[in-house]
Structure formats: structure tokens, C-alpha cells
Structure 1
Amino acid sequence: MGYALHEILEVQEMAAFKTICLTKSKTMKALVTDQKLKDIMQQDVDLTTRQLQEYASILSLQSNN
């Protein structure tokens, strides 16, 4: 099943946004001293990484079709 062009563009936009969020979380995590906040930020990093992997698989499936 193929995706429409606007769907692929939306996935690319979400991937770009999540990449920026990931970069910010990783950078800011190094500056935070509160352990609870660091843990929350690490959870965000882990979740965002999984989401980006899902987006990449969607985009790679589309490029193979």
C-alpha cells in the first residue's frame, strides 16, 4: 500500500520536528542538575528515538515502492 504525497511530506515534517526536539533534549539534559528532570528528559530522548526509527521505516518502505 502506497502513501499519498501529502502523507509522506507530513511524515518528513514530523521527523524534522522530532529531530530538533531530540537534539534539544540531549543538549539540555547535559545542563540540568535535577535528577528527576534528567530522568524525564531521558525518557523523552528514548521515546523520540523510537519515533524517529518508525518514521524512517515508513519513509524507507515508501521509497522502495
Structure 2
Amino acid sequence: MEKNLAPHESMETHEIINFKTVCLLRSKLMQGICFDNDLKRLMEKDVQQSIKDINELLSFYKQSQLLQ
């Protein structure tokens, strides 16, 4: 089974990783100025999910890059 990404797929994966990283940073920074504990918990949940998503995307992206 071929696991290489096409060039446009590599670029799109890279763009998604960048987007998820920006979202992660924004949620983390907003926690510092938020006074609502429920909202802080929701943002922390988003941070943790974003970390998982980014790690999964990175492992997929790195694996596809190594095969090329």
C-alpha cells in the first residue's frame, strides 16, 4: 500500500498543522485573561484535544515525508 502523500496533500497537511497550532496557542493565551472557570475548563479541554490532534497529524506527516 502506497503511503506517500501527493505534494498538494503534504501542503494541506502542513497548513492544517499550522492552523491547529495557532488555535492551540490562542486558547492557551485566552485562559490567562479569562475569569469564567467553566470557560477556562472548556478552553483547557480544547488545548488538550488540539495537542492530540497535532501529534497525530505530525506523525502522519513525518511518516509520509520519510517515505518519499
TM normalised by structure 1 equals 0.94
Unaligned runs of 5+ in 1: none
1:14-64 Cα distance to aligned partner (Å, 9 max, x none) = 000111111110000011111100010001001110010011101110121
Letter in 2 for 1:13: E
Which runs of at least 4 in structure 1 moved beyond 4 Å after TM superposition? none
Q: How does 1:2-41 map to 2 (within 5 A)?
A: 2-41=4-43
Instruction: State the partner residue of 2:45.
Output: 43
Once superposed, what is the RMSD of the aligned Cα atoms? Answer: 0.7
Residue identity (%)? 32
> How far, CA to CA, are the matches of 1:18 and 1:45 in structure 2?
10
> How far, CA to CA, are the matches of 1:22 and 1:12 in structure 2?
15
Instruction: State the partner residue of 1:55.
Output: 57
